[in-house]
Chains A and B, each alone.
Chain A
């Protein structure tokens, strides 16, 4: 199987994630889409590691996972707090920084 299919899959996953972030309002769904984008990137890293025959790509993938884990912790905490105060997980309700 051609290794470039992994890259296509990565691009498709990334696009789905990006579109999801842009069009969805539910914070949880957006969050999942972001995770999807991160994992698409991870897939691309691993693929490039395979293509180049070294471990640097895999190493960066681990970094990404760590960052993603931190992000989940902080992000979910924020979402929970917003939900508690506003009874809604819609990001459009939290557009207060504009004013």
Chain B
């Protein structure tokens, strides 16, 4: 292990401060900022991106082991031996995220200017977007788990605000609440992980924990690892906390693209990769990570096959693709770089496709049901091409981005070795088949075939401000995979962070075998979809379908499960507690009060108001007193 050097910097704080200030300004100024709010927000997002590019160039200019830079902003908590600085760390891993967040973020800001043009609350929307950018940058720049946690909560808040942006519709507000609650479950995991880490290591900084990670007890490491996984599952919509992502599509489409496809939902992957020193020393937790990833990638893919709502189909696909990333992250040093690679390429093509879906909705009077689309290629050529490039990228057709990243994940899964390798490898392959199937389905139902929309809908291409970001993202979907993959660029780039020791692994299947397998998987998926959807598509979903399809339409019954197993008993418990409070606790209080009242009522009759009664009482009292004295002294 070579010694790494960390340079200090005093400019990192602007990454977080700029968008945060802008958000505060827009929210505080209110209506006054309506005219120029979106311009400010977009400029700030663009500025952080440029700033990120400058940092990247500076970082590339330094040698491999002195690339990380660090800034202590202020001493945050100082209690005895517990010292936490509000400090930022920009290393090879965070810079990837910084560029993804600010780059895709800026494009989506630009897109939103046009997309939200008619909305009276556009300024508030941009304030929230900036708030999100600030929180997300804090999340990836924090140098300790506690700093990360602040950003983690911040993005949760921004996500909540943006999902419920149109909260005049009750169900949208409910969707926001659902996302928030599901996220809270995960956040609990993160806070517990931080507490255990502090109890075991006495510090919460990544550096401090990493230094002690190898000598720590296995049980503590597994506990921290599993709690971190819970956190990741909440934020990244992984099994069993995935049910919120579909409903999160209630938010405006740019939000779905930025937060629920490209950046925030991948925070869980970031967390796992960032905590590589914990997972590498806790093989049990690592195995659970792989398991969760595998389950989710199939789960999401199966749901994706059954959805008719274009955004929900894409959301299910996001879930599934993040499953790939989590699985890769669980594979250890051989997988981290590929998890991040898939995350970056996915950021491009999924955000691009979401913007495409938004563009379609924009042209179709906010219709989301794909059964009412069809044949849009003629009316929306730019959207079709950009969406199509994203589509080719996600299913993994060479030379598009997804091919490189997904291929490497499949290869890494097979190279796990033994029966595990075969099982997880096959799952990733199966996932590839299903991905190809449902994405082909989405593409065909939307852009090809006969038109199925109703009278009065006039599909049209979106304005320049909307299609320009789509084009740029499409370029990313085409080129990013090759750029990151060629010469193992990203692998070497991330090596000092995620693979300090250098690893070697056996190859169970050669690279070319895996590529062949993956490509045939894609071909099978596409072929099935073409056979199934080349003809007429019924304009309403068929009723007579298998149980699995019905279940998939209902998100594989996860909501029903949550409701029956968690929500109802929870409500029962609440009701029981309320009843206990009212009957037992309040009851006891009432009995005491009643006794006092009753005795007072009895005693009150003594107070007759008649002088003779008082006189008699005094007399009796004196007599009793004298008698008592007499008895005592005698």
Contacts and interface: CB of A to CB of B under 8 A. Distances in A.
Given A91-B611, A95-B609, A98-B607, 5 more contacts: A18-B619, A21-B612, A21-B619, A22-B619, A98-B609
B609 A96 contact: yes
B626 to A, nearest CB: 12
A25 interface: yes
A23 B609 contact: no
A99 B619 CA distance: 24
A56 interface: no
B615 interface: yes
B17 to A, nearest CB: 72
Nearest to B607: A98
A23 B619 contact: no
A21 B610 contact: no
Contact of B611 (A18, A30, A99): A30
B632 interface: no
13 contacts: A21-B612, A22-B612, A22-B615, A22-B619, A23-B612, A24-B612, A25-B612, A30-B612, A91-B611, A94-B611, A98-B607, A98-B608, A98-B609
A97 interface: yes
Interface string B417-440: 000000000000000000000000
Contacts of B629: none
Interface centre among A22, A23, A99 (most CB of B within 10 A): A22
B58 interface: no
A71 interface: no
Contacts, number: 29
A21 B616 CA distance: 8
Nearest to B615: A21
Contacts of A99: 609
Interface string B597-630: 0000000000111111001100100000000000
A95 B616 CA distance: 15
A22 B616 contact: yes
Contacts of B615: 18, 21-22
A99 B608 CA distance: 10
Interface of A: 18, 21-25, 30, 91-92, 94-99
A92 B615 CA distance: 13
Interface string B549-586: 00000000000000000000000000000000000000
A91 B616 CA distance: 14
Contacts of A92: 610
B541 to A, nearest CB: 78
A95 B612 contact: no
A47 to B, nearest CB: 18
A97 to B, nearest CB: 6
Nearest to A92: B610
Contacts of B607: 98
A95 B610 contact: yes
A95 B619 contact: no
A23 B609 CA distance: 15
Interface string B111-130: 00000000000000000000
Contacts of B616: 22
B223 to A, nearest CB: 71
Contacts of A95: 608-611
A91 B619 contact: no
A96 B610 CA distance: 9
Nearest to B604: A98
Contacts of A97: 609
A91 B610 CA distance: 7
A98 B608 CA distance: 6
Contacts of A98: 607-609
Contacts of A22: 612, 615-616, 619
Contacts of A18: 615, 619
- Kindly list the 5 A-B residue pairs having the minimum CB-CB distance in the complex, ordered from nearest: A98-B609, A95-B609, A91-B611, A22-B616, A21-B615
Contacts of A94: 611
A24 B619 CA distance: 15
A25 B611 CA distance: 9
Contacts of A23: 612
Contacts of B609: 95-99
B612 A91 contact: yes
A94 B609 CA distance: 8
Contacts of B619: 18, 21-22
A94 to B, nearest CB: 8
A91 B607 CA distance: 15
Nearest to A19: B619
Contacts of B612: 21-25, 30, 91
A81 B430 CA distance: 108
Interface centre among B608, B610, B615, B616 (most CB of A within 10 A): B615
A30 B611 CA distance: 10
A70 to B, nearest CB: 19
Nearest to B612: A22
A24 B612 CA distance: 8
Contacts of B608: 95, 98
Contacts of A30: 611-612
Interface centre among A18, A25, A94, A99 (most CB of B within 10 A): A18
A94 B614 CA distance: 13
A21 B622 CA distance: 15
A66 to B, nearest CB: 22
B625 to A, nearest CB: 15
A91 B615 CA distance: 12
Contacts of A24: 612
Contacts of B610: 91-92, 95
Contacts of A96: 609
A88 to B, nearest CB: 14
A97 B607 CA distance: 9
A27 B608 CA distance: 17
A62 B619 CA distance: 24
Nearest to A95: B609
A7 B384 CA distance: 125
Contacts of B611: 30, 91, 94-95
Nearest to A33: B615
Nearest to A98: B609
A18 B612 CA distance: 10
A93 to B, nearest CB: 10
A50 B615 CA distance: 31
A75 B7 CA distance: 99
A23 B619 CA distance: 13
B484 to A, nearest CB: 92
